Amino acid sequence: MAVVMETGEFRETIEKALKAIKDLPVTVQRWDIETGSDWSGDRGVWIWAILNDADLTAKTCAEIRTRVRRALSKVAEESIVYLRFRALSEV
């Protein structure tokens, strides 16, 4: 039986897991995280990885996506993770 965390606690757990990732190909300038229910009522996590404009390549995003999914596989196993990337100049 899974333990359901409160939204604030869950968000903090996600943030800690993201900050603990050591082998990213580039520095993530900022992680923007939102939690809640998605359109179907399932628990969702929306993550925006903010990168320097020059670092925003398909290869880099694919590598980060793989590492993020691995890092969140245990802490967000009952949530749908939506990972997006934005350039620093966009925010």
The whole-model pTM stands at 0.85
Look at the chain and report how many structural domains it folds into: 1
Domain assignment present for 68: yes
Q: Which pLDDT value is given to residue 20?
A: 95
Domain assignment present for 20: yes
Cβ proximity of 44 and 30 under 8 Å: no
Domain assignment present for 2: no
Q: What are phi and psi of 22, to 5 degrees?
A: -100, -25
> Could you give the percent of the chain with pLDDT greater than 90?
69
Domain assignment present for 54: yes
Residues 6-31, mean pLDDT to the nearest whole number: 91
Domain assignment present for 1: no
Domain assignment present for 80: yes
Cβ proximity of 91 and 55 under 8 Å: no
Domain assignment present for 76: yes
Sheet of 43-51, strand order: 28-37, 43-51, 80-87
Query: What digits encode the pLDDT tens for the residues 38-57?
Result: 888 888 999 999 999 999 99
Residues 62-79, mean pLDDT to the nearest whole number: 92
User: Domain range for residue 83?
Assistant: 7-90
Separation of alpha carbons 57 and 41, rounded Å: 32
CATH at residue 63 = 3.30.70.1350
